[in-house]
Amino acid sequence: MAPGPFAGPQAQQAAREVNTASLCRIGQETVQDIVYRTMEIFQLLRNMQLPNGVTYHTGTYQDRLAKLQDHLRQLSILFRKLRLVYDKCNENCGGMDPIPVEQLIPYVEEDGSKDDRAGPPRFASEERREIAEVNKKLKQKNQQLKQIMDQLRNLIWDINAMLAMRN
């Protein structure tokens, strides 16, 4: 059988190099396996009877005990695998400078231009407070407008009533 186009040393090197995203995916799958195995262990423990003097089949008990020990061994292996993935991710991300969370959230300035990270970052709580103040002022203005419209309506009503009395 002829070797494929990727059977050379380049393919082996590519197989050894795993990027951080695929490591995270492997870690996620490992955590899911750990949860699944843990659920199986609890299921086995729930179904297992304690040898408290009650007659039980030693074969069934030994079989369940062997399954439990096998699950615990596999769980231990999965935790070691997760630790390796975690260490490798930390090693790959070790040279990266963490970006502050405030810089990851874009916002629009008052003049309509986008944030170019030149000024100090604005926090969401500050923006929320400003929005609350603007809403409060807007409600006050709406209340004033409503009062003016009510006064105009009453004035027009009075004028119409006087015109009706005149005729």
Asked if residue 106 is part of any domain, the answer here is no
Residues 65 and 138 in one domain: no
What is the domain extent for residue 57? Answer: 16-98
Same domain, yes or no, for 22 and 93? yes
Residue 100 has pLDDT above 50, yes or no: yes
Which 3 state secondary structure label does DSSP give 105? coil
Instruction: Indicate whether 88 and 144 sit together in one domain.
Output: no
* Residue 7 forms part of a structural domain: no
Q: Is residue 109 part of a domain?
A: no
Distance between start and end Cα atoms, the chain = 112
- How many structural domains comprise the chain? 2
- pLDDT tops 50 at residue 57: yes
> For residue 32, what pLDDT band results from cuts at 50, 70 and 90?
very high
Q: Is residue 139 part of a domain?
A: yes
Are residue 69 and residue 32 in the same domain, yes or no?
Answer: yes
Query: Going by C-beta distance under 8 Å and a sequence separation of 6 or more, which residues neighbour residue 18?
Result: 26, 88
Higher pLDDT, 61 or 140: 140
pTM of the model: 0.47
Residue range 61-79: mean pLDDT, rounded: 90
Cα→Cα distances 100→29, 90, 115, 120, Å: 29, 18, 15, 12
**Domain match, 88 and 155 both:** no
Indicate the residue among 98, 132, 147 that finishes a domain.
98
- Residues 143 and 76 both lie in one domain: no
Is 113 a member of any domain? no
Residue 128 within a domain:
yes
Is position 133 within any domain? yes
In a domain? residue 43: yes
Q: Does residue 29 register a pLDDT over 90?
A: yes
Does residue 22 sit in the same domain as residue 60?
yes
Confidence bin at 15 (pLDDT 50/70/90): very low
Question: Chain centroid to CA 70: how far?
Answer: 34
Mean pLDDT (whole number) for 75-88: 93
